[in-house]
Amino acid sequence: MTARLRPAAAVATVLVAALLGACTSGVYAETQIPTATPSVTATSSPSPSGSSTTTPATCDNATQSYNPLPSLTGDAADNAVAAIRNSPNKKLRVGVSADSLLLGSRDPITGQIVGFDIDMAKAVAKAIFGDENQIELIVISAIDRAKVLQNKSVDLVVRNMTMNCARWQEIAFSSEYYRSGLKILVKKTDPTTTLAGLAGKKVCAPSGTSSMIAVQATAGVIPVGAATHTGCLVLFQEGKVDAIAGDDTVLAGLKAQDPYAYVPPMQPLTFEPYGIGVNKDQVDLVRYVNRVLDTVKADGRWKASYDRWFADKLGPAPAPPQSRYGRG
């Protein structure tokens, strides 16, 4: 069978995006952490002695986080972020994507990593330091999001990470800052409108993501893993996969890079609530971040960021997701 041929310009666009996402230069201080293999399991965490201990599941509602601090100033707030303010480089270290257009991707003109997720990360940096640019963006893969929090390579992960009960056993989450939905991207000529309708076809999703779990759970579909959604788009343009599964935010960014791609109108297969990831032992930092997010939702910055990145792709801004608190 002959692979589907695509215009060279379309393939080149994605290859350039992949290369830009991989480079580490830019205005912000940036680092790239290589992918860890194998990934961290969902039920164990290292004990102080180095042995593995099982953490019991206590999750009834994955979007429920710890109560926010009453204020971003005062002793409680200062204690929550003291280690960050006193760090050697005086920057907030945040694990992000550099190739998820609209969420976190490198602008080829400025070299900066920009997007909705980056706006949320910069809001936390501004609250801590008074300067949103006192931030170190550390490029990570989806599969390493929990790992870099557990080994404290970063302070936060803001990388379109779905809150679920399995991940709560590995890390802690802020309150929900965005509600996405799992959909599919296909060729414009493909009439398929559901994941189940792709039975017998190859569907790509990044390894270690909730999107891949959904693909693997769908009867007849042939899962194909990649390190990133950009990697999936390259495979799609080369004719090596028939579709891509992902959050509607991510697929909107992929569609913008490929005129032959199409996201069919459909109800989301699942809802994907995004939370900011934090080391599970740093509850005070979670509470500080929750106060920042509540402020951003209330003062118009959340809507302004949505309008900048998503409005022309996903429609008018909804109300910000409701913050749910009370986790013990």
Q: Does position 275 have pLDDT exceeding 60, yes or no?
A: yes
pLDDT at 267: 87
Q: Per-residue pLDDT tens for 204-226? A: 999 988 899 999 999 999 999 99
CATH number listed for the domain at residues 16-37+61-179+274-314:
3.40.190.10
Mean predicted confidence (pLDDT) in 282-303: 98
| CB neighbour class for 302 (10 Å; exposed up to 12, middle 13-18, buried from 19) | buried
Q: Does position 30 have pLDDT exceeding 80, yes or no?
A: no
Cα(91)–Cα(1) distance, rounded to whole angstroms?
52
Mean predicted confidence (pLDDT) in 116-125: 98
pLDDT at 88: 95
Kindly report whether the peptide bond that precedes residue 320 is cis, defined as omega within 30 degrees of 0: no
pLDDT at 60: 79
Count of CB atoms within 10 A of residue 34's CB? 9
Going from the C-alpha of 12 to that of each of 6, 24, 257, 321, 327, the distances in angstroms are 10, 20, 10, 37, 47
* Torsional sign, CA 133, 136, 142, 147: negative
Task: Give the distance from CA 6 to its chain's centroid.
Answer: 29
Q: Does position 3 have pLDDT exceeding 50, yes or no?
A: no
| Residue ranges of the chain that CATH labels 3.40.190.10 | 16-37+61-179+274-314, 180-262
pLDDT at 328: 82
Cα(295)–Cα(186) distance, rounded to whole angstroms?
38
Q: Does position 15 have pLDDT exceeding 80, yes or no?
A: no
Cα(9)–Cα(6) distance, rounded to whole angstroms?
8
pLDDT at 58: 55
pLDDT at 208: 86
pLDDT at 161: 95
Mean predicted confidence (pLDDT) in 16-30: 38
Looking at every residue in the chain, the average pLDDT score rounds to 85
Mean predicted confidence (pLDDT) in 230-240: 96
How much of the chain, in percent, has pLDDT values that exceed 90? 77
pLDDT at 293: 98
Q: Per-residue pLDDT tens for 55-113? A: 333 577 999 999 999 999 999 999 999 999 999 999 999 999 998 999 999 999 999 99
Q: Does position 25 have pLDDT exceeding 60, yes or no?
A: no
DSSP-based helix, strand, coil % in the chain, nearest 5: 35, 25, 45
Domain 180-262 has CATH 3.40.190.10: yes
**Where is pLDDT greater, at 45 or 324?**
324
Q: Does position 40 have pLDDT exceeding 80, yes or no?
A: no
